[in-house]
Structures are given as C-alpha cells and as structure tokens.
A and B are shown apart, each in its own frame.
Chain A
C-alpha cells in the first residue's frame, strides 16, 4: 500500500492512490504512525522529499472508518479521545467509526503554540481546539461537495449526519466512505465555518474513551512491548552519583552470563546487551565497575536543607514586587513567619523508561513512549550519524508520562540509539524500577521562607516569599523563554502570580546549586508553590481569626474564576457545616495551566498520627469542556498523584546516592488509601485551560489545612510525617 502522497501546493490534498481510494485530508498518513503497526519493523525507506503541510489529521477509508491522526501522546490523559472528538464533531462523523492513531514525528504535527512536536503543559486540547475542528469541517465540506457532484445537486441542499451526506429534498444518502474517492479529487475549501458550540452533539458530552478496549485485554502496545525480529535487550549501568564518570570496568563475568551477547560502553555508562531482559539484568549485576563519583559525591539531603535555609536568609532575584512589603511588615499589627519545605520527587511512571532503536546504515527507527518527538528525533539523528530525514520516531502508548518522558536531552532515546549502533542490531533498553527511581530528572526540592502580616482588622497587608530551588531551564534551549530577569518562571509560577489582594507583596527566588537532574513533574512549579502559598494563607487567616474560606473569598475580588471555583467547592463540600465526627476540613484554590481549581479535603488523624483522607470535593473551571468524563478522571488522578506526594513522596540523598529505589521505599498511594473524590465542573465560557496537571497543586495544601483543622498542628514539610502528628 502506497503511503506517501506527493503533496503539492494545497494545504489539503487528495489522492485516490492512497488507502484504496479513501479520502485523505492532509499530507501523508504514515504506516509508521499507525499504532496497529507500531511494533512492526520498518520495511520502506523514509519518505524523502515529501512535502508536509499542516492539518494532516484526517483519513476516511472506503469502509467508513474515520481515522484521526493524533499528534499528542496518549499517556492516560485522554487525548486519543478528546482530540478525535473535535474532528468528529465538525465532520458529523459516526463516532462508532472513529479511531485514533499516533502521528509520526514530523513538523506537520508540531504543537500549535510551542512549534515543536511535544505533549506537555496541559495544552493538548486547547491548543488543538481550532486546528482539529477546522480539519473536520474541511473534510465535511469536501464530502458534501462530493455528494452534490454525485447527485448533480446543489451542495446547499445537502446536510450531514452521523457519517452520511443527505440530500434533503430527495432523502438520498451516501456514507462518507462511499464518497471518499470522489471527495479526494476535489479542491479543499480554504475557509470553512465552524459550528456554533450550541449545536455541538459530541463535544461537551461525556464520551467513552476510544482506547479503553485495548487497555483491558492486553493488546495496547506500550514502548516496552515493541518487539522486532532479531531484537536484543539492554540494561545499562549508569553512574551511582549524578555527574559521575566511569573510570574503568571489567566485562568478563558479565559476558559469561548465558544469553549475554555484548557489553558496550556508551556515553552514560556500560550497556549489557542480551537475548532478553533477565540475562541482561544478571549480566549487569556481574559487571565490575569503578566510578569517579565527581562533585556530588558528598551530596546529602540533611546538609542540603541547611544550605537552602542559608540561601533563603539572603535577598534573591525578584520575581514579583508590589507596594513596599518591608515597610508594611514593620508597621503591621501582627506578623508571622513560616518555612515550607518539599523534597525531590520522582515521576515513577508505572511503565519504567524504555526505548527501542534500530540503527542501520540507511536509517534509524525509534519506538518509544515519548512526550518530546522533535527533540528525540534530532538526538537520534545525531547519535546515529544520519540525516534527520532518515530517522523516524514512532510514538507508542505511554505507561504514564507526568513530564518524565519529555526530556530535553533525550537521554533515554540516545542510549538506545548508541547501543543499537554499537551492536548493529535492534535494541530495546529497559530501565529497572530502581534505574527509573534513581535516574534523576526529579521535581526539584524546594524551600519557601514566608513572612506575612495583617492589620488591626485582620486584613493581610504584607507578603514576603523567598523560594530556593534548582532551575531546570538554565542551560537548555528554553532558557531564553523561561528565565527572565534572573528568575526561572518554572520555579516561581503559582507564587509570583499570587491572586490575593495583598497591597505589599514580594516574591524572590534563589537558584539552588545544580547537579541533580531536575525536570517538570506534573504541575511543575505549582506542585510546590501552591503548597507554600495556600498553607501560609491559611496561617494568616488563623492569625486574623477568620474562616479560611471567607478570608480567601474576601481577597479574590479581582479574580472571579478563582472565587467561583472556591464557592462551588465549598458549597458542594458543605463548608460551614460541621464535618463528620473526628474529621477536619481544609481547602485550597489555585490557578495553573489556565484552569482554576478549588479542593476541599476531609481528613482524620489517628492518635498515632496516621492521616486518612476520606473525601475530596473538587471544583474546576477550565473554560469550555470537551469530554467531561475525562475531566473528572483527570481530577481523580491528579488528586491521587498529589496525595501520593503529600503522604509518601521523598527522594533523598546520602553520600551522593539516591536512597530510594522501588515502591517499598518510594511508595505510591494504594486503593485502600483512596478518598472519595467528587468533581464539579464549573460552567464557563471563559478561556479554555488544561486539565492534566492543575488538579495536583491544591490537594497537598487542602489536606494540610484540614490536618490543622483536625489537630491544631501545622504541616510545613512534605511528605507529612505521622510522628509529628502524634497526639
């Protein structure tokens, strides 16, 4: 089957040569982009010289199947459903005939805002909202024109419904599949009118995910499932201390392990390459390695905490300043100070990192669950020593991402490419859970020193916040966008944009010493700033003798979306009425990624200090809604993610080494700790925001504020330590 279209000038092209005469909107639909084929080796050369155009998103087959080529990676957040919904809505497709496939790595599939192919920042749905609806509407217009031509009637006398064009006057009908070939010969319209949202039939309605069936019978293909003929499996020994270097190694014993085929040194360490995982892993255990631990040999979390405190005692780079906080603090009626601390956190995706690479003389194919196709492809080309057009990146399902699979240095792809090139065979690199937990790219540890003051009436008059944490934007190509006036936006977001009406406020940042690889972790800077801001605000409310809800409500006059989310959550949670016996209630509201979320947590604390979160009420205003069921699922998931961190999560260092390794010492929330989560979507026609990340930031402060309500004890350091809550 020919897969390559000779795309000419037109934005949308048609070719009857493709897919048995189907209508293809968009450029080329790569066989390699099809998840059904994702596990198969490449047999065709790269499409050299093919011109790509935008909106390469729709394929309609003669069998009436509508395939939406999705350029955002499916990592659980539901893009393989929400994005096809946008196309199907405008296309008036029969939803039962819609399927989604992964886009190949290609500039045609670049992010509409970021300009590279990637998934992140909770942007997938809003950033594609217009482009994909246009792709669907254009297809629909061409199918109508094809029907009109077939029947020799005016297009205006035709309407569409459920995958068919209907001639209104005669009642004649033709399915999209039967019209595909004719439509393929038409010139696409350049301007199409999009539906008024009030006529939406699909968008905004709870819609079943398209990828659920393959995730209930084991047939979904994740990166770790990709299998190629002749493929070997590699496990890599990496430096035990970040920044360490290999001094020397002896492979003799590793090579003696049955099934081990090669031991090769690569940039980041030593790879043991075998017939399968078990042999590779046993081979790695048998390696004799000597490392130079480098400058972080003495890294220790206890010492680091003192260093951060020392930094916080000095003025940092100013991220926000209004009024004169120093002056206001001096003259205020009451003031308080508090320090909030958060540890490094690993993403701990259920699917450990992995990557399959097949480097040949004539090309390189990479299969992996990635959030960062453009960077991975460039890196693979560099390490394979091949031109970019000979490198293909095939995106599989991702067994969780949370930011971990959007790595700027493409390290997990580079390793696989380097090993495949060295051993001249397709190679799958599998990270063990320990490799993954100790592999870095953590949410930075953060130290927040806060000072606040209220006046005689209990109104806050001053807010000073000093944040100490590493920058993961420094030294990357993103530095130019993300670091302004010496402040890394990802370190202060959620603090520098404090929504509360406090006349004198200053937020500063200290860049902590680097070395430990850090990265975006679901909700990025908000994951620590919201904890400090929303807990400290609660402290101010207490200082003022005010109800935490009323206190916030009075300070959100200029922020109606915050206020509305807060009202909806408070009302649904029964705020103001006594909580069930033995429980405390706490709340938090936070904006991130364009969405506004309030959460109310109901918590009890046992005599031994064990914290139980019973119920979480969550209200979200994310603007127009595509799939409400996905929003609810993302809120449930984000609350679990944030609770895991609040109750259990800490990556710590001793002697330069990460202490934790697997789920016994880096625990995840389990079903027996799962609170009841109730999600309320605030009706909104405001600007559309994201839903993947913004549910995370409010939960830790909501829970800690509830602990205060239940026990009178403030939690200022995560994870929550039961021994500090013993009564």
Chain B
C-alpha cells in the first residue's frame, strides 16, 4: 500500500512499487489528463509535479511519490483559470492536444523559476517536450502571454 497526495487529495493505492507513477495516475486514479508518449522520458507528455518539480511520470516509480505532493493537469485549476491555461486558450495553442498537458505542466515550472522568460529560456525549458503537431511557435507566444497575465494578476 502506498499513500499518495494527488491534487491535494490523499489516496492509498495497492500497486507494485515499481509501477510508474503515470499508470497509477491514469489507471488506478482515473486521472487521464497525463499522457503516455514514450515511456522513457523522451517526450514530456507525462509531465507532472512532484513537490513542485517537473518530473516524467512514465519513468518515476510510484514509490518515489509516496508521501509527496503530486500535481497533475487536473489539479492546476478547477476551471481552466491558471494563467497558462488562459494563455493557451487565448493563443489557441493545441492542435491534436495530446502533448499539451505535459507542455503546460513544464511551463508552470519555467514561469515559477523565470517569471519573465526570454525565447531562449523558453527553448531551454521546453525542449524536453515534443509536440508532433508543431505548435511550438504558439507555445512560445502563450508562455510570454502567461508571464504577462501572471504579472498583472499577481501584482508582484
């Protein structure tokens, strides 16, 4: 039995401790917003936060998440109101949409570390996330917009 805190909720799951966190989120807890893309930390579609850090849940054994705070796309906001979600909508970033949960979760960490990122900062931080539809240009724009929105909303 492993106890997890996912999106501010406690869960006790009965899974093998080597099971990747991704599959526990998706199959055991039904949080399917986090996606399976590669299974080897190459594409970033499975990005979630573990105590605030972006991790690739496809290669993170669930045992590593025990007792830590896990945040998934579903926990980012209850109503698509996070500045990055608003910016993603304003720039109409997604095409197929499959990679976008991971993109947004990676961008959250970027903006926390660099509230006013340059294009180079964005490229550095987001290069681990593949988008096969090629929405990169809009991802750049949306991150800049979210930085502005956060600045306005947060007042600091």
Q: Contacts A216-B89, A629-B92 given: A350-B130 contact, CB under 8 Å?
A: yes
Residues of A with C-beta under 8 A to B134: 636-641, 669, 674
- Give chain A nearest CB distance to B90 CB in angstroms: 9
Residues of B with C-beta under 8 A to A212: 88-89, 92-94
Is there a chain B Cβ closer than 8 Å to A224's Cβ?
Answer: yes
- Which stretch in A371-379, A394-402, A467-475 binds the other chain? A394-402
Residues of A with C-beta under 8 A to B23: 276-278
Is there a chain B Cβ closer than 8 Å to A676's Cβ?
Answer: yes
In contact, A224 and B35 (Cβ under 8 angstroms): yes
In contact, B40 and A662 (Cβ under 8 angstroms): yes
Is there a chain B Cβ closer than 8 Å to A217's Cβ?
Answer: yes
Is there a chain A Cβ closer than 8 Å to B124's Cβ?
Answer: yes
Task: Report how far A258 CA is from B17 CA in the complex, Å.
Answer: 12
- Give chain A nearest CB distance to B9 CB in angstroms: 15
Residues of A with C-beta under 8 A to B57: none
In contact, B43 and A663 (Cβ under 8 angstroms): yes
Task: Report how far A637 CA is from B131 CA in the complex, Å.
Answer: 9
Is there a chain A Cβ closer than 8 Å to B42's Cβ?
Answer: yes
Is there a chain B Cβ closer than 8 Å to A221's Cβ?
Answer: yes
Is there a chain A Cβ closer than 8 Å to B139's Cβ?
Answer: yes
Q: Find the A residue at minimum CB distance from B33.
A: A218
- Give chain A nearest CB distance to B32 CB in angstroms: 4
Residues of B with C-beta under 8 A to A674: 123, 134, 136-137, 140
Q: Contacts A216-B89, A216-B104, A217-B73 given: A637-B129 contact, CB under 8 Å?
A: no
Q: Contacts A216-B88, A216-B94 given: A668-B80 contact, CB under 8 Å?
A: no
Task: Report how far A668 CA is from B93 CA in the complex, Å.
Answer: 18
**Chain B, interface SS category:** loop
Is there a chain B Cβ closer than 8 Å to A430's Cβ?
Answer: yes
- Give chain A nearest CB distance to B23 CB in angstroms: 5
Q: Find the B residue at minimum CB distance from A348.
A: B132
Is there a chain B Cβ closer than 8 Å to A49's Cβ?
Answer: no
Query: How many chain A residues touch B (Cβ–Cβ < 8 Å)?
Result: 62
Q: Contacts A276-B27, A277-B27 given: A663-B94 contact, CB under 8 Å?
A: no
Q: Contacts A222-B98, A668-B130 given: A208-B40 contact, CB under 8 Å?
A: no
Q: Find the A residue at minimum CB distance from B43.
A: A663
Task: Report how far A214 CA is from B26 CA in the complex, Å.
Answer: 17
Complex partner residue of A399 from B85, B98, B137, B139, CB under 8 angstroms: B98
- Give chain A nearest CB distance to B118 CB in angstroms: 13
In contact, B77 and A217 (Cβ under 8 angstroms): yes
Is there a chain A Cβ closer than 8 Å to B38's Cβ?
Answer: yes
Is there a chain B Cβ closer than 8 Å to A677's Cβ?
Answer: yes
Q: Find the B residue at minimum CB distance from A639.
A: B134
In contact, A216 and B100 (Cβ under 8 angstroms): yes
Is there a chain B Cβ closer than 8 Å to A719's Cβ?
Answer: no
Is there a chain A Cβ closer than 8 Å to B31's Cβ?
Answer: yes
Task: Report how far A350 CA is from B133 CA in the complex, Å.
Answer: 8
Looking at A215, A216, A224, the one whose CB has the most chain B CB atoms below 10 A away is A216
Is there a chain B Cβ closer than 8 Å to A650's Cβ?
Answer: no
Task: Report how far A212 CA is from B93 CA in the complex, Å.
Answer: 8
Is there a chain B Cβ closer than 8 Å to A672's Cβ?
Answer: yes
In contact, B136 and A350 (Cβ under 8 angstroms): no
Complex partner residue of A78 from B27, B31, B95, CB under 8 angstroms: B95
Bits for B120-147, please: 1 = Cβ < 8 Å to A, else 0.
0011101111111111111110000000
11 A-B contacts, Cβ less than 8 Å apart?
A: A76-B133, A277-B23, A351-B96, A399-B97, A432-B39, A637-B133, A662-B39, A663-B38, A663-B40, A663-B42, A669-B136
List 11 other contacts, CB 8 Å, given A668-B132, A676-B137.
A76-B133, A215-B100, A277-B27, A350-B132, A351-B35, A633-B92, A633-B95, A636-B134, A662-B38, A663-B43, A671-B140
Residues of B at the A interface (CB closer than 8 Å) are: 16, 19-20, 23, 26-28, 30-40, 42-43, 45, 72-74, 76-77, 80, 85, 88-89, 92-101, 104, 122-124, 126-140
Give 4 closest A-B pairs by Cβ, nearest first.
Answer: A218-B33, A640-B134, A215-B97, A399-B98
Residues of A at the B interface (CB closer than 8 Å) are: 74-78, 208-209, 211-222, 224-225, 227, 233, 258-259, 276-279, 348-352, 397-402, 430, 432-433, 629, 633, 636-641, 662-664, 668-672, 674, 676-677
